[in-house]
Structure 1
C-alpha cells in the first residue's frame, strides 16, 4: 500500500469532526428476533478535514497537502484529538498503560495495541502508527530503555525486545499514536468568497488498513 509517513497538519485537524464506525449486518426473523453479525474485526474511523480550517492560509496548506498526497493515492498520518494516547486524553502515557502481550519464553516481537473496555466487554485495537520517541515499554513491571532494552518500528507499531521475556511475564506499553488514513475524495471544491462567508469545504478522510 502506498503510504507517506507524514502527519496531516495538527493545527488543521484540531476542530475536525469524526470517530469510529462499524459495519453490522442485521437480519430480522419472522419471530421478531434479530440476528446480528459483523464482517469487520476492527472499527474504521472517518473524519472531515475541512472543519478545522479557519483562514485562507489554512485552506492553502490543506490544498498543498492534498496535492502532495495526490488525493486518494497516498495514505498519511492523522492525529485524532479525541483518541491519540494509550491513556486518557488528559493523562500522560506510562509504560504500564496497555498490555501488549505475555512472554512465552521465545517471542520478542509484540504489536502495540489499545484495549477499550466497558461493562465486561472489551475490544483490542492494533496500533500501527506510534509517534517517534513516545513509546514506553516494561516487562514484568520493570521499565526498559529504548535502544538498549527494546526497539520500535514506527511504521508498523511492532516492538522488538532485546531479551526474551520469561513465560507468563506481562509486556506493557504506553505511547502516543496516529491513525493511518487517506483522503476519501479526489476533489476539493471551494471558492475564496464562499470560504470567507463561512462555507468550508467538505474534505472526507477515512482510515486505511496497514
Structure 2
C-alpha cells in the first residue's frame, strides 16, 4: 500500500533545474476556423526534473538509498520547488499578511493554507498541504498571533479561539510540493572517474 513519507528530496535543485505547472486543455478546432477550449483539470499539476542536483558518486549513493526506501514511485515525499516555494515572491521572506485564508464567522477555527495567483483580474487558488515546519506566520486583521496549532502534513491551521465575524485571517509560509518518482527506474551515468550524474529524475506532483 502506498503512503506518504514526510521527508524532503535530499538534493537542492538550482542551476539547470526544469519543471513547473501543467494544465490539461482540450482544444477542438471548428470548421469556421474558430476553436472551443475546455479543461478537464480544475487545478494544475507540477512536474520536475531533479537530475541537475546530482553531481558526484556520493550523491548517487544517497539517491539510490532514497529511491529504494521510497520503493520507487510507490511512496510520495516532499520536494522543494526551486521556482515557487513560499507565500510571496521568491526574493522576499514570508509575512503574516501574504495570503488570505478566510474570514472569521465566530465559530470556525480551522483554516486551510492556500496560495492565490492573480493576473489581469483573474485568479487561481492553490491548496498548500505541505508547509515547512517553523515557517508559518498568522495574522488576524493584520495583527500577528501565535495562539494556534498547525498540521504540517496537511496545511490545516487551527486557531485557539474562533475569530470573530468579519476578521480577516491571513498567513505567510514556506512550503514543499508532495511528489513521487514518475518512473520505476533510475538512469545513472558515470561521466568520468569520481564524477557521476543522473541526467533525468522525473518527479510528478501528488494531488490531495
When normalised by structure 2's length, the TM-score is 0.93
**1:141 and 2:139 matched:** no
Partner of 1:68: 69
Q: CA 1:63–1:197 in structure 2 vs 1: closer, same or farther (change >3 Å)?
A: closer
1-side partners of 2:132 and 2:11: how far apart?
13
**Paired residues of 1:86 and 1:114 also in contact (CA < 8 A):** yes
**Paired residues of 2:20 and 2:47 also in contact (CA < 8 A):** yes
Partner of 1:34: 35
Partner of residue 179 from structure 1, selected from 177, 180, 185: 177
**Paired residues of 2:138 and 2:171 also in contact (CA < 8 A):** yes
**Paired residues of 1:105 and 1:165 also in contact (CA < 8 A):** yes
**Partner SS, residue 190 of structure 1:** strand
Choose 22-31 or 121-130, whichever is displaced more.
22-31
Q: Which runs of 5+ in 2 are unaligned?
A: none
1-side partners of 2:168 and 2:193: how far apart?
52
Partner of residue 165 from structure 2, selected from 145, 164, 167: 167
When normalised by structure 1's length, the TM-score is 0.92
Q: Which runs of 5+ in 1 are unaligned?
A: none
Q: Where do 1:79-118 residues align within 5 Å?
A: 79-118=80-119
The number of aligned residues is 206
Greater strand share, 1 or 2? 2
1-side partners of 2:69 and 2:140: how far apart?
41
**Paired residues of 2:187 and 2:198 also in contact (CA < 8 A):** no
